[in-house]
Amino acid sequence: MDCRSDIAVELEVVRRHAEADTMQRALKEFARRMNAPDVNALSSLVSQTELMGTHVATAVTEFADTMRRQYRQRAEERANKTSIKLLFPVILCLAPPVFILMVGPPVLQLRNFLHDAHESGGVLNPSSYTERLTPVTNLEEIREDLP
């Protein structure tokens, strides 16, 4: 059954109860049947405005605005809690690929550098130092080469 038709049926029951008895009694029964805090507050509000003789439309409009604000606040609270709950899965799912993308290329370059460095003529190969380094036997020859 459609929600609108359910509400229409309930309001029709309230109207019939109000015709048979008083509006306050009909609204109390409506709140009891619905068993919802918002409906209970609405029925109390309508009963009080009728007893006081104030405008029901103004009171119901203010009540609706208050209910909208409360629903919006609840939705914002849920959204804030959801963002906190999503923080850890996002970190666990996104951090490893980002780490690999940021650290991967330098690690590969370092690996290639170290691999090439140990080959003949490489920076870390000890034999390449012995080939390049010749013992200095005569300092005068070096001084002659300098300008």
Are the C-beta atoms of 15 and 39 separated by less than 8 Å?
A: no
* Residue range 132-145: mean pLDDT, rounded: 65
d(CA 30, CA 65): 22
Are the C-beta atoms of 100 and 93 separated by less than 8 Å?
A: no
pTM: 0.52
Residues 19-71: tens digit of each pLDDT: 898 888 888 888 888 888 888 898 899 888 888 888 889 999 999 999 999 99
Q: What is the pLDDT of residue 34?
A: 86
Residue 43 vs residues 14, 26, 124, 137, 142: alpha-carbon distances, Å: 11, 9, 87, 110, 107
Q: What is the pLDDT of residue 1?
A: 52
